[in-house]
Amino acid sequence: MDLTDIKSIIIASASEQADTDEIPRRLEDQGVSFDFSSDFNEKVIERIFKEKFTVIRESDFGKNLSKVFYRIALTGVAAIVLLLLSIFLTEGSISFNSFLGMGSIYDESVFYLLTGI
Amino acid sequence: MKESYRLADENELIKASLEGNASAFEEIVSRYRRLVARTVKGMLGDSVYAEDIGQEVFIKLYYSLPEFRGEAKLSTYIQRIAVNLTLNEIKRRKRFFSMFSQKGNDEIYEYEIPDHGGPEKEEAKELVNKALMSIDPKFRIVVVMRMLQGYSTKETAEILNLPLGTVLSRLSRAQEQLRKILKAL
């Protein structure tokens, strides 16, 4: 069978009346066959089962991360409350000046400290 | 020791695969890899991308097996996945390449003529590849279903989820395009 015959088969395959059982067989006889590489099956299986383990590991990591986050967040909130309490006890209020440690310093003293006049 | 599923029927393979049995699913891959290759390689050319899409088809099949109700044949179900993923890949590549060039998607694909068979057999395959790659993907898919898979127009319409009339008109347009292209080759 030469290339002209192959061309005829290709054109005929797009015809409504084409014998669709016969065409693939005739083409295959002429070497027109399609397949994947020899290690295709192994690659597919490896990807599926490797991905499965990755998903499990990822979900474990996610769970652990959220646990750690809650612990850190709780510790942080506790530390802030203690800080505010200690500021209130030492300075008598929790104003902005108290935060900066300047609750009991007069404006004149600050001016003197900064300019020396 | 690996359990052999070579003689197992389709339902048995599906059931074992759903239970996470790799050997059973590997048997499904072995049985349908050529069916998928014909669609994917017929649409994308004999390229490395086709191999990747082929793998994606079976990965998608594995994860969608719980939804497989057995209303259609497993081969039809796999074929639909292959068609969808291949058409999506063509669209994705078309979008990607249109950002960099004004050329159509026909220039996207690389041909890799496999090193098997005599020179005449290689020529025949190259001719089929060139003819398919030269026609519009929406016509190409219809020709692939008929020429490489051997489906009837009715089956093609069912797999592609198209009305029969659309399949017939696309076949006619494809035939017109193929005539012109093959005359020049």
| Average pLDDT, consecutive stretches of 10 residues, N- to C-terminus, chain B (185 residues) | 77 92 94 96 90 95 92 92 95 80 49 50 85 92 92 92 94 93 86
Which of A23, A37, A45 is closest, CB to CB, to B25? Answer: A45
For residue A2, the 8-state DSSP code is: -
The secondary structure of chain B, three-state, reads CCCCCCCCCHHHHHHHHHCCCHHHHHHHHHHHHHHHHHHHHHHHCCCHHHHHHHHHHHHHHHHHHHHCCCCCCHHHHHHHHHHHHHHHHHHHHHHHHHCCCCCCHHHCCCCCCCCCCCHHHHHHHHHHHHHHHCCCHHHHHHHHHHHHCCCCHHHHHHHHCCCHHHHHHHHHHHHHHHHHHHHHC
What's the half-sphere exposure (Cβ side, CA atoms, 13 Å) at B12?
9
Residue located via tokens 């959220």: A66
Report residue B117: phi and psi, to 5°: 80, 165
Q: Which residue of A has its CA nearest to B165?
A: A16
Question: Can you give the pLDDT at residue B38?
Answer: 95
CB contact under 8 A, A40 and B147: no
Residue B55 burial by Cβ neighbours in a 10 Å radius (0-12, 13-18, 19+): buried
What lies within 8 Å, CB to CB, of B100 at 6+ separation is: none
CB contact under 8 A, A24 and B153: no
Say whether pLDDT at A53 is over 70: no
Which of A24, A31, A48 is closest, CB to CB, to B124? Answer: A31
Please give the interface size between A and B, counted as residue pairs whose CB atoms are below 8 Å apart: 120
Query: Which amino acid, residue A115?
Result: T
Question: Can you give the pLDDT at residue A37?
Answer: 93
Contact at 8 Å (CB) between B65 and B102? no
Residues of chain A with Cβ-Cβ distance to B121 below 8 Å are: 30-32
Task: Identify the weakest region by mean pLDDT among A25-29, A74-78, A96-100, B135-139.
Answer: A96-100
Which of A16, A18, A45 is closest, CB to CB, to B22? Answer: A45
CB contact under 8 A, A6 and B25: no
State the greatest distance between any 2 C-alpha atoms of chain B, in Å, as a whole number: 56
How far, in Å, CA of A28 to CA of A33, rounded? 5
Contact at 8 Å (CB) between B29 and A44? yes
CB contact under 8 A, B33 and A30: no
How far, in Å, CA of A29 to CA of A19, rounded? 16
Residue located via tokens 């078309």: B94
Q: Which residue of B has its CA nearest to A7?
A: B182
Residue located via tokens 């009346």: A17
Residues of chain B with Cβ-Cβ distance to A13 below 8 Å are: 143, 146-147
Say whether pLDDT at A15 is over 60: yes
pLDDT tens sequence across B77-99: 999 999 999 999 999 888 887 77
Which pTM does this prediction carry?
0.71
Contact at 8 Å (CB) between B92 and B86? no
Contact at 8 Å (CB) between B55 and A40? yes
CB contact under 8 A, B62 and A11: no
CB contact under 8 A, B33 and A35: yes
Residue A75 CB neighbours (<10 A): 10
Say whether pLDDT at A14 is over 70: yes
CB contact under 8 A, B37 and A35: yes
Residue located via tokens 């035939």: B175
Interval A89-109 mean pLDDT: 78
Question: Can you give the pLDDT at residue B14?
Answer: 94
Question: Can you give the pLDDT at residue B108?
Answer: 43
pLDDT top residue among B46 and A54 = B46
Which of A10, A31, A40 is closest, CB to CB, to B122? Answer: A31
Residues of chain A with Cβ-Cβ distance to B22 below 8 Å are: 45, 48-49
CB contact under 8 A, B127 and A10: yes
Residues of chain A with Cβ-Cβ distance to B118 below 8 Å are: 31
* Closest-CA distance of chain B to residue A61, Å: 22
Which of A60-69, A71-80, A93-102 is modeled with the greatest confidence? A71-80
Question: Can you give the pLDDT at residue B105?
Answer: 47
Instruction: Measure CA B82 to chain center.
Output: 5
Contact at 8 Å (CB) between A41 and A51? no
For residue B115, the 8-state DSSP code is: S
Question: Can you give the pLDDT at residue B140?
Answer: 94
Question: Can you give the pLDDT at residue A91?
Answer: 81
How far, in Å, CA of B35 to CA of B33, rounded? 5
Q: Which segments within chain A are labelled E, that is strand?
A: none
Residues of chain A with Cβ-Cβ distance to B36 below 8 Å are: 36
Residue B28 burial by Cβ neighbours in a 10 Å radius (0-12, 13-18, 19+): buried
